[in-house]
Structure 1
């Protein structure tokens, strides 16, 4: 009996979904800003920035404290973060095996620069698996939480947004995918994920959560070919 798939494209975020890099970037940004402002106030501001680009995080902190940062502040922070990521970052456990077990075209849509995403794919051994393409923040005017990156990926693949399934870890990314009209799986298995992240994603409208990439193939299969009654993961 031939089954009809309800999903034609899988799209993954990069940082926190393919590689465990968010914790490194966050550490570097915090260290750079903590040298300029009170740490306890800084941590309050940073609590609401998970998933944003480092440039936007720095701009938010600078505006709050009235800082006149030099033009090279963010480029220097980004270069330091990228250097540490290249030296230290690890793939999310089991991500390669999970994605290679899923028989769907795959794209990556990230608020990182495209070059950094390509490096992450090399690091995880996923370069050949990503057959639709890499869509970095440098390719759109409005990165996440705007839907532009996800719509670009879907349009490139020739797939309607409602037939796309996205794996995201942040509220910023989930908002982008949901606004694009896509279904979202919230991944909570990276080292930087706060305890309340699952509830935050649920409140946004993310129906399915997972903590281990080994759970992903079965969940994707269930969403592609739903039974008469479907329950949330």
Structure 2
């Protein structure tokens, strides 16, 4: 790798970056919980929760409405949501070509279960491209927004966090990557992204946001040659 590069590892989130699964999960959660609580109020509670683990979303719903969801209900929701994502979630347009055209080692770090990540990579035809490991919330003590899964990816690859570049779509994931000391590109091209989300990610501290995957290779190459804002060339 060129000595002029400031980036040695590219790390991608999965849901909402490689596969358009968040919109499917949101629909399943909304339909199931809408039978238990007022739908108009539920919409407000669910706003901005994408990127969180399902258990954290359900805990937020329970706390807001003062209810306890039965274990059977939760198991069925997890099963039905996973099955729907497996069958219906589509690859993000242009993601495969974008990542194939970036000359950096690639890892994937996600709050999803490992089996789901593996299936998503197969669906996106990116399994062989991910040469620096797949990392899930199951492997760490704390899921995103904690930095643990990103730090694990960097440590496994033997790369300092400040030399990692992350592609993320959610506030949860961006918070995790920034807490790990990594540079972050915000991706706004998935179906579930609200119009104001780009400004939300900028306020969190992302360097750049993109709306289409065909923007990614050129931006990554540019950032490889530019030092982070807080580092002198």
TM class by shorter chain equals: over 0.9
Query: What TM-score, normalized by structure 1, do the two folds share?
Result: 0.95
Aligned to 1:184: 184
The whole-number CA distance in structure 1 between the counterparts of 2:74 and 2:159 is: 36
Q: How many residues align?
A: 227
Structure 2 residue matching 1:6: 3-state secondary structure: coil
Does the alignment pair 1:44 with 2:34?
Answer: no
Segments of structure 2 that go 5 or more residues without pairing to the other structure are none
1:139-179, CA deviations, whole angstroms, 9 ceiling, x for partnerless residues? 11100000000000000000000000000000000000000
Between 62-71 and 201-210, the greater mean CA deviation after superposition: 62-71
1:97-118, CA deviations, whole angstroms, 9 ceiling, x for partnerless residues? 1101111110000010011000
CA deviation after TM superposition for structure 1 residue 3, in Å: 5.5
CA deviation after TM superposition for structure 1 residue 73, in Å: 2.4
Does the alignment pair 1:101 with 2:96?
Answer: no
Aligned to 1:225: 225
Aligned to 1:165: 165
Contact 1:3 / 1:225 at 8 angstroms: preserved in 2?
no
The whole-number CA distance in structure 1 between the counterparts of 2:68 and 2:96 is: 43
CA deviation after TM superposition for structure 1 residue 64, in Å: 1.4
- Which aligned segments of 4 or more residues in structure 1 are displaced greater than 3 angstroms? none
Does the alignment pair 1:68 with 2:60?
Answer: no
The whole-number CA distance in structure 1 between the counterparts of 2:94 and 2:72 is: 37
Does the alignment pair 1:124 with 2:124?
Answer: yes
Aligned to 1:29: 29
Does the alignment pair 1:174 with 2:174?
Answer: yes
Structure 2 residue matching 1:63: 3-state secondary structure: helix
Aligned to 1:84: 84
Aligned to 2:210: 210
CA deviation after TM superposition for structure 1 residue 124, in Å: 0.3
Contact 1:145 / 1:172 at 8 angstroms: preserved in 2?
yes
Aligned to 1:20: 20
The whole-number CA distance in structure 1 between the counterparts of 2:85 and 2:116 is: 9
Query: What TM-score, normalized by structure 2, do the two folds share?
Result: 0.95
